[in-house]
Chain A
Amino acid sequence: MVASALFIMDLKGKIIISRNYRGDIPMTVSERFATYLQEKEESEQRPIFTEEGCTFAYLKYNNLFLLSVTKRNSNVALMLVYLSRLVDVFKEYFGELEEESIRDNFVIIYELMDETMDFGYPQTTEAKILREYITQEGNRLEAAPRPPVALTNTVSWRSEGIKHRKNEIFLDVIEKLNLLVSANGTVLHSEIIGAIRMKSFLSGMPELKLGLNDKLMFEASGRAVSASTKGKAIELEDIKFHQCVRLARFENDRTISFIPPDGEFDLMTYRLSTQVKPLIWVEAVVEPHSHSRIEYMIKAKSQFKSRSIANNVDIIIPVPSDVDTPSFKASIGTVTYLPDKDAIVWGIKQFHGQREYLMRAHFGLPSIAAEGSSANATEKCWKKPVQIKFEIPYFTVSGIQVRYLKIIEKSGFAALPWVRYITCAGDVYLRMGT
Chain B
Amino acid sequence: MSISSTINQITRNARAAVGQIGGGSDSRFFHNTSKKGETHELREELQSQNKDKKRDAVKKVIANMTVGKDVSMLFTDVVNCIQTANVELKKLVYLYIINYAKSNPDLALLAVNTFCKDANDANPLIRALAVRTMGCIRVDRIVEYLCEPLARALRDDDPYVRKTAAVCVAKLYDISPDMVEDRGFLDVLRDLICDSNPTVVANAVAALSEIQETSGQDVILITGSVLQKLLAALNECTEWGQVYILDALSRYEPADEVEAEGIVERVTPRLQHANSAVVMSAIKVVLGYMELCNPDVVRTLTRKLAPPLVTLLNSEPEIQYVALRNINLIVQKRPAILEHEIKVFFCKYNDPIYVKMEKLEIIIRLASDRNAEQVLLELKEYAQEVDVDFVRRAVRAIGRTAIKLERAAERCINVLLELIQTKVNYVVQEAIIVIKDIFRRYPNRYEQVIAALCENLETLDEPEAKASMIWIIGEYADRIENADELLDSFFLDSFLEETPQVQLQLLTATVKIFLKQPAETQALVQRVLNMATEGTDNPDLRDRGFIYWRLLSHSPQVARAVVLGEKPTIADDTFALEPALLDQLIHQLATLSSIYHKPPEAFVVRMAVPVGHVTGGVGEEYDDDLEYLEGEIGVIGAAKGPSKQAAGSGNGGGTGGEVDLLDLGGVDEAPPATTGGKDGGLDDILGGGGSNGGGTAGSSQANTQVDRPLVCTPEQGGGIGIRAALRQEGGGIFCDMTFQNTGPTPFQVLAIKFNVNTFGITPASPQIAFPAPVPQGGATNYVLPLTFAPSMVASGAPPSLQLQTAVKNMASGHVFYFAIPYDLSVLFAASGQTDRAGFIPAWKAIDDANEVTTLAGSLPPALSSPDAVVSRLGSRHVAFVARRPVPGTTQESLYLSAVTVTTPPVHFLVEITLQAGVASAKLAVKSQSQTLAPMACAAIEGLLRN
How close is B267's CB to chain A, nearest CB, in angstroms? 10
Q: Are B343 and A53 in contact (CB under 8 A)?
A: no
- The reply to whether the CB of B715 lies closer than 8 angstroms to some CB of chain A is no
Complex interface: chain B residues within 8 A of A49 (CB): 796
In the complex, the chain B residue whose C-beta lies closest to that of A28 is B847
Neighbour of B277 across the interface among A81, A108, A119, CB < 8 A:
A81
Neighbour of B244 across the interface among A60, A121, A245, CB < 8 A:
A121
- The reply to whether the CB of B603 lies closer than 8 angstroms to some CB of chain A is yes
Q: Are A95 and B27 in contact (CB under 8 A)?
A: no
- The reply to whether the CB of B170 lies closer than 8 angstroms to some CB of chain A is yes
How close is B892's CB to chain A, nearest CB, in angstroms? 32
Q: Are B272 and A80 in contact (CB under 8 A)?
A: no
Chain B stretch 279-329: residues in CB contact (< 8 A) with chain A = 279-281, 307-308, 310-311, 314, 316-319, 321-323, 326
Stretch at the interface among B192-200, B724-732, B759-767: B192-200
In the complex, the chain B residue whose C-beta lies closest to that of A240 is B274
How close is A152's CB to chain B, nearest CB, in angstroms? 4
- The reply to whether the CB of A101 lies closer than 8 angstroms to some CB of chain B is yes
Complex interface: chain A residues within 8 A of B8 (CB): 100
Q: Are A121 and B138 in contact (CB under 8 A)?
A: no
- The reply to whether the CB of A52 lies closer than 8 angstroms to some CB of chain B is yes
Q: Are B238 and A59 in contact (CB under 8 A)?
A: no
Q: Are A104 and B23 in contact (CB under 8 A)?
A: yes
Q: Are A80 and B322 in contact (CB under 8 A)?
A: yes
Provide the B118-153 mask, 1 if CB < 8 A to any CB of A, else 0: 000001111010001001101000000000000000
Chain A stretch 164-212: residues in CB contact (< 8 A) with chain B = 178, 180, 182, 188-189, 191, 193
* Interface size class of chain A, counting residues whose CB lies under 8 Å from the partner chain: 35 or more
Chain A stretch 241-274: residues in CB contact (< 8 A) with chain B = 241-243, 245-248, 250-251, 266, 268-269, 271, 273
- The reply to whether the CB of A289 lies closer than 8 angstroms to some CB of chain B is no
Known pairs A80-B316, A147-B160, A247-B269; A271 contacts B311 (CB<8 A): yes
Known pairs A188-B378, A251-B269, A376-B424; A147 contacts B128 (CB<8 A): yes
- The reply to whether the CB of A331 lies closer than 8 angstroms to some CB of chain B is no
Provide the B330-360 mask, 1 if CB < 8 A to any CB of A, else 0: 0000000000000110101110011000000
Q: Are A52 and B387 in contact (CB under 8 A)?
A: no
- The reply to whether the CB of B26 lies closer than 8 angstroms to some CB of chain A is yes
Known pairs A76-B590, A137-B24; A248 contacts B350 (CB<8 A): no
Q: Are B247 and A58 in contact (CB under 8 A)?
A: no
Known pairs A49-B796, A114-B91, A431-B381; A121 contacts B203 (CB<8 A): yes
Q: Are B591 and A74 in contact (CB under 8 A)?
A: yes
Give the distance in Å from the alpha carbon of A351 to the alpha carbon of B595 in the complex: 46
The A-B contact count (CB < 8 A) is 316
How close is A288's CB to chain B, nearest CB, in angstroms? 16
* Interface size class of chain B, counting residues whose CB lies under 8 Å from the partner chain: 35 or more
Known pairs A1-B247, A101-B22, A384-B349; A81 contacts B275 (CB<8 A): yes
Complex interface: chain B residues within 8 A of A15 (CB): 68
Provide the B224-268 mask, 1 if CB < 8 A to any CB of A, else 0: 000000000001111110011001000000000000000000101
- The reply to whether the CB of A17 lies closer than 8 angstroms to some CB of chain B is yes
Neighbour of A189 across the interface among B66, B343, B591, B799, CB < 8 A:
B343
- The reply to whether the CB of A105 lies closer than 8 angstroms to some CB of chain B is yes
Q: Are A145 and B272 in contact (CB under 8 A)?
A: no
Provide the A50-88 mask, 1 if CB < 8 A to any CB of B, else 0: 111101011110000000001111111110111010000
Complex interface: chain A residues within 8 A of B239 (CB): 243
Q: Are B592 and A50 in contact (CB under 8 A)?
A: yes
Q: Are A23 and B102 in contact (CB under 8 A)?
A: yes
Complex interface: chain B residues within 8 A of A103 (CB): 26-27, 30
* Interface-central residue, B200, B239, B348, by most chain A CB under 10 Å: B239
Give the distance in Å from the alpha carbon of A431 to the alpha carbon of B380 in the complex: 13
How close is A186's CB to chain B, nearest CB, in angstroms? 9
Give the distance in Å from the alpha carbon of A125 to the alpha carbon of B390 in the complex: 37
Give the distance in Å from the alpha carbon of A93 to the alpha carbon of B423 in the complex: 55
Known pairs A146-B124, A152-B159; A107 contacts B102 (CB<8 A): no
Known pairs A78-B243, A133-B125; A95 contacts B18 (CB<8 A): yes
Q: B interface, by DSSP: helix, strand, loop or mixed? A: helix
Neighbour of A238 across the interface among B23, B85, B266, B307, CB < 8 A:
B307
- The reply to whether the CB of B798 lies closer than 8 angstroms to some CB of chain A is yes
In the complex, the chain B residue whose C-beta lies closest to that of A191 is B344
Q: Are B592 and A111 in contact (CB under 8 A)?
A: no
How close is B647's CB to chain A, nearest CB, in angstroms? 23
Complex interface: chain B residues within 8 A of A191 (CB): 344
Q: Are B592 and A73 in contact (CB under 8 A)?
A: yes
Q: Are B123 and A146 in contact (CB under 8 A)?
A: yes
- The reply to whether the CB of B944 lies closer than 8 angstroms to some CB of chain A is no
- The reply to whether the CB of A291 lies closer than 8 angstroms to some CB of chain B is no
Neighbour of A72 across the interface among B25, B87, B197, B604, CB < 8 A:
B604
* Interface-central residue, A17, A21, A53, A122, by most chain B CB under 10 Å: A53
Neighbour of A138 across the interface among B21, B377, B385, B424, CB < 8 A:
B21
- The reply to whether the CB of B32 lies closer than 8 angstroms to some CB of chain A is no
- The reply to whether the CB of A429 lies closer than 8 angstroms to some CB of chain B is yes
Complex interface: chain A residues within 8 A of B29 (CB): 106
Give the distance in Å from the alpha carbon of A21 to the alpha carbon of B279 in the complex: 26
Q: Are B590 and A78 in contact (CB under 8 A)?
A: yes
Neighbour of A80 across the interface among B95, B269, B318, B343, CB < 8 A:
B318
- The reply to whether the CB of B593 lies closer than 8 angstroms to some CB of chain A is yes
Complex interface: chain B residues within 8 A of A44 (CB): 389
Q: Are A105 and B592 in contact (CB under 8 A)?
A: no
Chain B stretch 533-550: residues in CB contact (< 8 A) with chain A = none
In the complex, the chain B residue whose C-beta lies closest to that of A18 is B66
Neighbour of A53 across the interface among B66, B167, B198, B605, CB < 8 A:
B605
Q: Are B592 and A74 in contact (CB under 8 A)?
A: yes
How close is A86's CB to chain B, nearest CB, in angstroms? 12
Known pairs A76-B592, A240-B311, A271-B311; A81 contacts B276 (CB<8 A): yes
- The reply to whether the CB of B946 lies closer than 8 angstroms to some CB of chain A is no
In the complex, the chain B residue whose C-beta lies closest to that of A137 is B24
- The reply to whether the CB of A226 lies closer than 8 angstroms to some CB of chain B is no
Complex interface: chain B residues within 8 A of A16 (CB): 66
Q: Are A144 and B85 in contact (CB under 8 A)?
A: yes
Binding site for B on A (CB under 8 A): 1-2, 15-18, 20-24, 26, 28, 42-53, 55, 57-60, 70-78, 80-82, 84, 93-96, 100-101, 103-108, 110-111, 114, 118-119, 121-125, 133, 136-140, 144-147, 151-154, 156, 178, 180, 182, 188-189, 191, 193, 237-243, 245-248, 250-251, 266, 268-269, 271, 273, 376, 380, 383-385, 387, 427, 429, 431, 434
A-B contact pairs, 22 of them (CB 8 A): A26-B849, A42-B353, A47-B322, A60-B318, A73-B600, A75-B243, A75-B281, A75-B591, A77-B276, A77-B590, A78-B590, A80-B316, A95-B18, A100-B27, A110-B95, A111-B88, A114-B132, A144-B85, A243-B239, A429-B348, A434-B381, A434-B384
The 7 A-B pairs of least Cβ separation, nearest first, read A238-B307, A53-B605, A73-B600, A247-B269, A47-B318, A152-B159, A103-B27
